[in-house]
Amino acid sequence: MTSEEGFVTTTTASTTADAGALDLPLVQHWISGAASAGSGDRAADVYDPATGKRTKTVALASPGDVNAAVAAAKAAFPAWRDTSLARRTTILFKFRQLLDERKGELAEIITAEHGKVVSDALGEVSRGQEVVELACGINHLVKGAFTENASTKIDVYSIRQPLGVVSIISPFNFPAMVPMWFFPVAIAAGNTVVLKPSEKDPSAANFIARLWKDAGLPDGVFNVLHGDKVAVDGLLTHPDVASVSFVGSTPIAKYVYETGTAHGKRVQALGGAKNHMLVLPDADLDLAADAAVNAGFGSAGERCMAVSALVAVDSVADELIAKIKDRVATLRTGDGRRGCDMGPLVTGAHRDKVTGYVDAGVTEGAELVIDGREVVPDGDADGFWLGPTLFDKVGTDMSIYTDEIFGPVLSVVRVESYAEGLDLINANKYGNGVAIFTNDGGAARKFRNEVQVGMIGINVPVPVPVAYFSFGGWKQSLFGDTHAHGVEGVHFFTRGKVVTERWLDPSHGGLNLGFPQND
C-alpha cells in the first residue's frame, strides 16, 4: 500500500492517535472517489497482530465527516439510479475482474491487520467475490412481474427500485467478505453506499474503494467512512440514510436495530453466535475430527460460523477427542505470512480476553485437554498469540459454554442422546450456524427439521451459504427480518411498487364510488 494509490497518506499532527504515532501512515476516509483526512481530530491505532506492533493509524470520523460521506452518496444517487442496468453491470463485471486479478494483494492487506493466514484471507475474498458475481446478474433479480388484462383492459405490473443512500457497518473478522455480502447487490440495484468498516482492520475497505474507482464506478457511489461509535450513531440517525446493514456482536446489533428502526430506517443487524456441532455415534469420526479442527481453529476461531461447542453423543467423545488431539498436534500457529495454519488474535486486548476464558474454564472445573496458552508460535514474541485450546466435560453453566468467546477455544459437551443434544442447541440464545455429523439420513433430516438455527451443515462444518442463497441466523444472531445476499439481499436493497394501468381506448370508465373490484 502506498500513498500513490490514494488510500493511505502520511499522518498529520492533528489526526494521530497519539504523539508517538506521528510517523505512522493514516488510513483516511474515502469520499466522492478520493481519500479524505476528514475534519475530525481523533484517530485509532492499527496493529499487525503477528508482531504486536502499531503499523498505522485510522481516522475516526466526526459528525461532520458523517455528513460529508452521506452528502456525497446522496449527491451521486440520482444519476446512479438512472444509470441503465446494462451500464451498471458493465462496471460490476469490471470490478469483479479487478478483484479477481488483485485478490492476492487484498489478502495480504487483510493478514497484515487481522492476522488470519494468507490462504484463509484469500478464501474470504473469494467468498465475497461470489456475491459480486451474483450482483453481475442483477438484471434478472430486479425483474418485475406483468399481468395483462388483470381486470378488463387493465394491466398490473411490479417494479423494484433502489432505496437511496444505504449504510453498511462491518466487524473486524471479515474486513472484505462481510462488506461484500452487501455492497455488490446494493450498488447493482442502484443505491449509493457508505461503508463503515471496523477500525481494527480498516485498509481492506480503501483498497476495495480504489478498485471500484478503477472499474469506472462514478464518484460518490461507494464511500468509506472510518470510525467508531460516533460514526455509527451518525449513520443510524442521519435523515438521508435509508437503511443499515450491520454485522457484529449481539449487544451492538440489538442497539443498531433498535436505534436505526426508531429513526425510520430499514435495518438488518447480524449478531454473535455460539455454533454447535452435534456428532452422533454413527458418524465418520475422522471426517468429524477434521471438521471440528478446521471449524474450531480456522481463523483462530474468529468466525461467526466457527464451531465452539462440540456436542458428542453417547460413546463417541473419547475417540473423537483423541483424533482431535492428534490433528492439533500437527498444526503450526504463527505469522500468517509464513505458511502457518493458524494466526494470532486480532488485538492484545482480545487475546487477553480469550485467555481469561481459558483460565475461567479451568477454574469452573472443565477438563483442559489442550492448553493454547503454552503455544510456541512461529512468529514475533510480541504477537497476540493463543494456540488451539480444547476443553472436555464442559458444563452448560460454565462461561466457556454460555459466552461467545471468539477465539480458538473448543468445548466438548457430552450428552447421552440425540434428543438431549438437540434440546441443548435449541435452548441456546444464539441461532447462527450448526452442524450435525452422522451417516443416518433419517436422523439428519429430523435434525434439519427440528433445530432452531438459521444455517445448517449436514456433514459440513462451516455452512456459509453460497451467494445465491441468503446468509443469516435466528434468535439473537439476527435482528430484523431479512438475511444477507441472495434474493433476500435484493429485496432488502430495493422497494417494490405495483402499477395498475389502463390506456385509453374507445371504452370509458364510468362513475363508481365503490371500492375497486376486478371484472
Looking at the annotation, which residues are catalytic? 304
How far apart CA 355 and CA 60 sit, in angstroms, is 29
Contact 230, 257 (CB under 8 A): no
DSSP 378: B
Amino acid, single-letter form, for residue 388: P
User: Which stretch, 52-60, 146-154, 225-233, 381-389, contacts ligand NAD (CB under 6 A)?
Assistant: 225-233
Q: Is 237 in the site for ligand NAD (CB under 6 A)?
A: no
Is the CB of 33 or the CB of 227 nearer to ligand NAD?
Answer: 227
How far apart CA 429 and CA 409 sit, in angstroms, is 19
Pattern of binders to ligand NAD over 352-371, x per CB under 6 A? --------------------
User: Which stretch, 18-26, 36-44, 116-124, 224-232, contacts ligand NAD (CB under 6 A)?
Assistant: 224-232
User: Which stretch, 40-48, 114-122, 245-253, 280-288, contacts ligand NAD (CB under 6 A)?
Assistant: 245-253
Pull the grid cell for residue 14. 492533528
- Report in angstroms the alpha-carbon separations of 480 from 242, 245, 268, 269, 345: 15, 10, 5, 6, 30
Judged by CB under 6 A, the residue of 304, 324, 354, 412 near ligand NAD is: 304
Beta bridge partners of 475: 430
Judged by CB under 6 A, the residue of 113, 199, 341, 488 near ligand NAD is: 199
CB of 474 to ligand NAD, least distance (A): 11
H helix intervals, 54-202: 63-81, 85-114, 118-135, 138-141, 177-188
Contact 81, 249 (CB under 8 A): no
Q: Is 249 in the site for ligand NAD (CB under 6 A)?
A: yes
CB of 308 to ligand NAD, least distance (A): 10
Residues of span 455-474 touching ligand NAD by CB under 6 A:
473
Is the CB of 77 or the CB of 406 nearer to ligand NAD?
Answer: 406
User: Which stretch, 63-71, 132-140, 144-152, 266-274, contacts ligand NAD (CB under 6 A)?
Assistant: 266-274
Which residue has the CB atom at the shortest distance from ligand NAD?
A: 248
Judged by CB under 6 A, the residue of 272, 296, 301, 486 near ligand NAD is: 272
Judged by CB under 6 A, the residue of 11, 243, 477, 482 near ligand NAD is: 477
How far apart CA 173 and CA 124 sit, in angstroms, is 10
CB of 178 to ligand NAD, least distance (A): 6
CA dihedral 99, 104, 106, 109 (to 10 degrees): -170
Size of the site for ligand NAD (CB under 6 A): 27
Pull the grid cell for residue 23. 510517523
DSSP 467: T
DSSP 255: H
Pull the grid cell for residue 488. 433476500
Q: Is 62 in the site for ligand NAD (CB under 6 A)?
A: no
Residues 410-413: contacts with CB under 8 Å, at least 24 apart? 410/292, 410/296, 410/297, 410/301, 410/307, 410/308, 410/309, 410/310, 410/324, 411/308, 411/309, 411/310, 411/361, 411/366, 412/310, 412/312, 412/317, 412/320, 412/321, 412/369, 413/309, 413/310, 413/311, 413/312
Judged by CB under 6 A, the residue of 70, 168, 209, 270 near ligand NAD is: 270
Judged by CB under 6 A, the residue of 53, 143, 153, 229 near ligand NAD is: 229
CB of 406 to ligand NAD, least distance (A): 5
CB of 334 to ligand NAD, least distance (A): 23
CB of 113 to ligand NAD, least distance (A): 12
Residues of span 160-179 touching ligand NAD by CB under 6 A:
169-174, 178
Cβ count within 10 A of residue 505: 7
Contact footprint for ligand NAD (CB under 6 A): 169-174, 178, 196, 198-199, 228-229, 232, 247-249, 252, 270-273, 304, 404, 406, 432, 473, 477
